[in-house]
Amino acid sequence: MIVLKFGGTSVGDAARVREAAAIAAAQLAPRVVVVSAVGGVTNLLLDAARAAATGQSDRVRDATAAIRDRHLGVANGIADPAERAGALAELDQLHAALDDALAEVAAEGALSDRCSDRIVATGEKAMSVLFAATLRANGSPAVHVFADRVVATDGRFGSARPDRARTRAQAAAVVQPLLDAGLTVVATGFIGGAPDGGTTTLGRGGSDYSATLLGAALDAAEVQIWTDVPGVLSADPRQVADARVVPQISYDEAQELAHFGAKVLHPRTIRPAVARDIPVRILSTFAPDEPGTLVTRAAVGSDLKAVTALQGLILLTIDVPELEDLAGAAAAVFRALHEDGVEIAFAAQASSRRRMTFLIDTITGGCRHLCERLETSLVDFEAGVGCTEDVALVAAVGEGGAAQPSALARLLGVLNKANVPVLAASQQTSNVALVAAVPAAEAARAVLAMHDAFIKSLPTTARGRRPRRAELLAESLRVG
Ligand code: ASP
Ligand code: MG
């Protein structure tokens, strides 16, 4: 069986839902379709919930009216009258339950994470009803399933963690018999069920995660993420006009790209697929015949595949006078950063062995706060702390390419020729990425030069297809 997931833009209105349903119906059965809410509806639901908690009844009314409109717009696009009537009746129930939940929040005067999840789940639930009805109206037997009965999670409302073993058991009990009966199962993305039966959510943008979780639970042959971009791109198209679709990347490459700031699959999304070795394909609903990007365990080729820039970092250097203090000082730095919840993007030790270099997320208070904090932690070592703000990390990702012995020299050569000063650089020991820290203001130029040197020069087959203008537009309009 396969899993197909459609995001909010791909189910943004009646016409888009019909197109998505046609894409799903054209795939080999058995299939599970995972849907997001209509684009924008999740934000409206959250807005309504917050307004209810703060007693802003006008805002609640506006938001719920907009939500109804969006849903009715899709329902009214269902061609078959009986299916349309059935969907409208189910929507009525969901909207009534939403009004009840909002009234409870208003009476309470506060919004708990539990209530918030119950409320936002309405968006995905409505879409599962609408999508299944659209499939049936087009002659494809289908049924919707609310995933709070299938995807088992813990009780952390708002960002619940899945329980894979229980999810597998529930998928076998709830979903498999429906597939065996020849039905397309349309499941809600984003939501799960807590041990006490409450509806949870997996965090914003969680529907991709739902797709790989269900794929893993049902031993899918493939998970397809249908979205508004034509696949993983070799660079951000807003920075690099020549950005193109990368035909195939490995799980490791995808995770490195996400880590270094590319908007691809979130690492947590890939994890269930990695665990069961399930290929993930990223495809565009705007260009359904294009091959997109295939993400698998194996790395292909010996080229660098994509370049990225991670902005908003701080470069931290620690100089330790006594060589034998180095490990102790490193431990103190890591402990302090960990205690403050600071993410480390990069860490290196210079060849003199007495200087350590870190790239970390920008923190409130910036360098002043950081220096004070670390000088206290490092007082026993008489260490010098240096700190620079407004630093970016540029990366070139590709297992074969980054592993070549001369790769880092090439990267430095390219940056040197483009007059981009390099603050620190490394060929990751993972051999998946080459990285360099550069001043934030130079990052765009660095990325362009790297893309020109490493990717534009590749033969067309290896470098993939150039996306169409409309697709680039879709990408540039996409919000985090
Ligand atoms: N509808 C949810 C959100 O907007 C989940 C998703 O789209 O993946 O965050
Ligand atoms: Mg969304």
DSSP class of residue 427 equals E
DSSP 388-412: EEEEEEEEEE-HHHHHSTTHHHHHH
Q: Are the C-beta atoms of 282 and 257 separated by less than 8 Å?
A: no
Q: Are the C-beta atoms of 394 and 436 separated by less than 8 Å?
A: yes
By the CB criterion, residues less than 5 angstroms from ion ligand 2 are 8, 36
State pLDDT tens for residues 419-435: 999 998 887 656 799 99
Q: Choose between 212 and 457: higher pLDDT.
A: 212
CA distance 91 to 342: 44
**Residue 346: its pLDDT value, please?**
86
Residue 472 has pLDDT above 60, yes or no: no
Confidence of residue 461 (pLDDT cuts 50, 70, 90): low
Q: Choose between 228 and 50: higher pLDDT.
A: 50
Lowest mean pLDDT among 181-190, 271-280, 334-343, 409-418: 334-343
Nearest to 170 by CA among 197, 143, 207, 190: 197
Distance from the CA of 47 to the center of ligand 2, in angstroms?
14
Long-range contacts at 81-86 (CB < 8 A, ≥ 24 apart): 83/133, 83/134, 83/136, 83/137, 84/133, 84/137, 86/133
Mean pLDDT over 18-39 rounds to 96
Tell me the binding residues for ATP: 227-228, 238, 263-264
Query: Which one of 41, 131, 190 would you pick to mutate in the ligand 1 pocket, going by the greatest count of ligand atoms within 8 A of its CB?
Result: 190
Residue 352 has pLDDT above 90, yes or no: no
CA distance 129 to 187: 9
Nearest to 206 by CA among 35, 41, 40: 35
Residue 36 has pLDDT above 50, yes or no: yes
Q: Are the C-beta atoms of 158 and 203 separated by less than 8 Å?
A: yes
Query: Given the structure tokens 């249908």, which residue do they identify?
Result: 226
Query: Which one of 122, 124, 125, 207 would you pick to mutate in the ligand 1 pocket, going by the greatest count of ligand atoms within 8 A of its CB?
Result: 207
Query: Which one of 5, 36, 268 would you pick to mutate in the ligand 1 pocket, going by the greatest count of ligand atoms within 8 A of its CB?
Result: 36
For residue 467 and ligand 1, the question of a CB distance below 6 A is answered with: no
State pLDDT tens for residues 265-285: 888 999 999 999 999 999 999
For residue 30 and ligand 1, the question of a CB distance below 6 A is answered with: no
For residue 37 and ligand 1, the question of a CB distance below 6 A is answered with: yes
pTM to 2 decimal places: 0.88
Lowest mean pLDDT among 27-41, 115-129, 382-396, 397-411: 397-411
Question: Of ligand 1's atoms, which has the minimum distance to the CA of residue 208?
Answer: 8
Ordered domains of the chain (ranges, CATH): 2-227 (3.40.1160.10), 306-464 (3.30.2130.10)
